[in-house]
Chain A
Amino acid sequence: MTDATAPAPAAPAAGGKRRSLLEVDERTRRRNAAEARFRLYGIVAISVGLLFLLLLLGSILFNGLSAFQQTFVQVPVYLDPERLDPEGNRDPEEMRGVTTFGYKPLLNEAVYEKVQSLGIETPLPEPAMAPLLSDGAATTVRSFVLENPDRLGETVEFDLLASSRVDGYFKGRVTRDSIARDRFIDAAHLDLADAMNEAGTMGKQFNLSFITGTDASDNRPEQAGMGVSMIGSFFMMLVVLILALPIGVAASIYLEEFAPQNRITDFIEVNISNLAAVPSIVFGILGLAVFIQFMHLPQSAPLVGGLVLTLMTLPTIIISTRASLKAVPPSIRDAALGVGASKMQSVFHHVLPLAMPGILTGTIIGLAQALGETAPLLLIGMVGFIASNYPDGVAAGFLDPNSAMPAQIYEWAKRADPAFYERAWGGIIVLLAFLMTMNIIAIILRRRFERRW
Chain B
Amino acid sequence: MYDAPTAAEQALQQHDIKISSRNVQVYYGDTHAIKDVDVDIEDKTVTAFIGPSGCGKSTFLRCLNRMNDTIDVARVEGEILLDGENIYDKKVDPVQLRARVGMVFQKPNPFPKSIYDNVAYGPRIHGMAKNRADLDEIVERALRRAALWDEVKDRMSAPGTGLSGGQQQRLCIARAVATEPEVLLMDEPASALDPIATSQIEELIDELRRNYAVVIVTHSMQQAARVSQKTAFFHLGNLVEYDDTSKIFTNPEDPRTESYITGRIG
Q: Which of A337, A340, A451 contacts B112 (CB 8 A)?
A: A451
Determine whether B102 belongs to the interface, using a CB cutoff of 8 Å to chain A: yes
Count of A-B contacts judged by CB separation below 8 Å: 69
In this assembly, does A276 line the interface, its C-beta being within 8 Å of a C-beta of chain B?
A: no
Contact digits for A114-137, partner B, Cβ 8 Å, 1 yes 0 no: 000000000000000000000000
A260: chain B residues at CB < 8 Å are 72
Q: Do residues B176 and A339 form an inter-chain contact, with CB atoms below 8 A?
A: yes
With A260-B72, A339-B176 as contacts: A332 and B126 at CB distance below 8 Å:
no
Fill in one digit per residue for B47-72: 1 if any A CB lies within 8 Å of its CB, else 0.
00000000000000000010100101
Q: Is B189 an interface residue (CB 8 A)?
A: no
CA distance A331 to B126 in the complex (A): 21
A20 within 8 A of B: no
Task: Judge if B250 is at the interface, Cβ distance under 8 Å.
Answer: no
Question: How far is B161's CA from A332's CA once the two chains are assembled, in angstroms?
Answer: 12
Cβ-closest chain B residue relative to A353: B112
Q: In the complex, A332 Cα to B110 Cα: how many Å?
A: 8
Taking CB atoms, residues of chain B closer than 8 Å to A329 are 109
Q: Given the interface contacts A334-B67, A337-B70, A338-B98, does A452 sit within 8 Å of B125 by beta carbon? A: no
Chain B stretch 48-104: residues in CB contact (< 8 A) with chain A: 65, 67, 70, 72, 95-96, 98-100, 102-104
| Residues of B96-128 whose CB lies within 8 A of A | 96, 98-100, 102-105, 107, 109-112, 121-122, 125-126
Q: Tell me if A332 and B98 are in contact (CB < 8 A).
A: no
Stretch at the interface among A92-100, A317-325, A342-350: A342-350
Q: For B67, list chain A residues within 8 Å (CB).
A: 334, 337-338
Q: Which parts of A132-185 form the interface with B (CB within 8 Å)? A: none
Task: Give the CA-CA distance A340 to B177 in the complex, in Å.
Answer: 12
Which of B65, B109, B125, B179 contacts A331, CB < 8 Å?
B109
When C-beta atoms are compared, the residue in chain B nearest to A339 turns out to be: B122
User: Would A341 and B107 count as touching, CB distance under 8 A?
Assistant: no
Report whether B161 and A453 are in contact in the complex, using a CB–CB cutoff of 8 Å: yes
Task: Kindly report which residue of chain B lies nearest to residue A338, judged by CB atoms.
Answer: B103
Q: Which of A339, A342, A345, A354 contacts B175 (CB 8 A)?
A: A339
* Inter-chain contact A331/B161, CB cutoff 8 Å: no
User: Nearest A residue to B109 by beta-carbon distance?
Assistant: A331
Note all chain B residues with C-beta closer than 8 A to A338.
Answer: 65, 67, 98, 102-105, 176
Q: For the complex, give the distance between the alpha carbons of A333 and B105 in Å.
A: 12
Which of A261, A332, A345 is in CB contact (< 8 Å) with B111?
A332
A451 to B110, CA, bound (A): 13
Q: Are A340 and B72 in contact (CB under 8 A)?
A: no
Give the interface residue-count category, chain A: 20 to 34
| Complex contacts, B175 vs chain A, CB 8 Å | 335, 339
Which residues of chain B come closer than 8 Å to A332, judged between CB atoms?
109, 111-112
Complex Cα gap A337–B121 (Å): 11
Which chain B residues (232-249) contact chain A, with CB distance < 8 Å?
A: none
B111 and A335 form a contact (CB under 8 A): yes
Q: Nearest-CB distance from B168 to chain A (Å)?
A: 11
Contact B161 A452 (CB under 8 A): yes
Contact B72 A261 (CB under 8 A): yes
Among A334, A338, A354, A452, the one with the most B-chain Cβ atoms within 10 Å of its Cβ is A338
Residues of chain A with a CB closer than 8 A to B176's CB: 338-339
The 8 Å CB contact of A345, one of B105, B110, B125, B172, is B125
Known: A345-B125, A452-B161. A340 touches B98 (CB 8 A): yes
A260-B72, A340-B122, A452-B161 given; A331·B105 CB < 8 A: yes
Q: What bracket does the count of chain B residues touching chain A fall in? A: 20 to 34
Closest Cβ of chain A: how far from B105's Cβ, in Å? Answer: 6
User: With A339-B175, A340-B95 as given contacts, are A334 and B109 in contact (CB-CB < 8 Å)?
Assistant: yes
**Nearest chain B CB to A439 CB, angstrom units:** 26
What's the Cα separation between A341 and B179 when bound, in Å? Answer: 11
Task: Looking at the assembled complex, report how far the CB atom of A174 sits from the nearest CB atom of chain B, in whole angstroms.
Answer: 63
Residues of chain A within 8 A of B65, CB atoms compared: 338
Given A335-B172, A452-B161, A340–B70 Cβ distance below 8 Å?
no
A138 to B166, CA, bound (A): 80
Partner of A349, one of B70, B121, B179: B121
Contact A335 B109 (CB under 8 A): yes
In the complex where A337-B70, A339-B179 touch, is A331 in contact with B96 (Cβ < 8 A)?
Answer: no
Q: Which residue in B105, B161, B179 is a CB contact (below 8 Å) of A340? A: B179
Contacts of B179 in A (CB 8 A): 339-340
Contacting pair B98 A335 (CB below 8 A) = no
Contact of B99 among A261, A333, A340, A350 (CB under 8 A): A340
Chain B residues closer than 8 Å to A341, beta-carbon distance: 95, 121-122, 125
Contact (A335, B102) CB under 8 Å given A340-B122, A349-B121: no
Bound complex: CA of A336 vs CA of B178, how far in Å?
Answer: 13
| A345 neighbours in B (Cβ, 8 Å) | 125
Residues of B within 8 A of A349 (CB): 121, 125
Q: How far is the CA of A332 from the CA of B113 in the complex (A)?
A: 11
Q: How far is the CA of A451 from the CA of B111 in the complex (A)?
A: 11
Residue with the greatest number of chain A CB neighbours at <10 A, chosen from B67, B70, B72, B96: B70
- In the assembled complex, the Cα of A452 lies from the Cα of B161 at a distance in Å of 8
Residues from chain A with Cβ under 8 Å of B110 in the complex: 335
Chain B residues closer than 8 Å to A342, beta-carbon distance = 95
Name which residue of chain B comes closest to A333, CB basis: B70
Within 8 Å CB of B96, what residues of A? 340
In the bound assembly, the distance between CA atoms of A350 and B105 in angstroms comes to 17
Give A108 Cβ to nearest chain B Cβ, in Å: 73
**Can you identify 30 A-B contacts, CB atoms within 8 angstroms?**
A331-B109, A332-B109, A332-B111, A333-B70, A334-B103, A334-B105, A334-B109, A335-B110, A335-B111, A335-B172, A336-B111, A336-B121, A337-B67, A337-B98, A338-B65, A338-B105, A339-B98, A339-B99, A339-B175, A339-B178, A339-B179, A340-B95, A340-B96, A340-B102, A340-B122, A340-B179, A341-B122, A349-B121, A350-B111, A451-B112
* 5 further A-B pairs in the complex, CB-CB below 8 A; given A333-B70, A335-B172: A260-B72, A332-B112, A334-B70, A335-B109, A341-B121
Contact residues of A with B, CB < 8 Å? Answer: 260-261, 329, 331-342, 345, 349-350, 354, 451-453
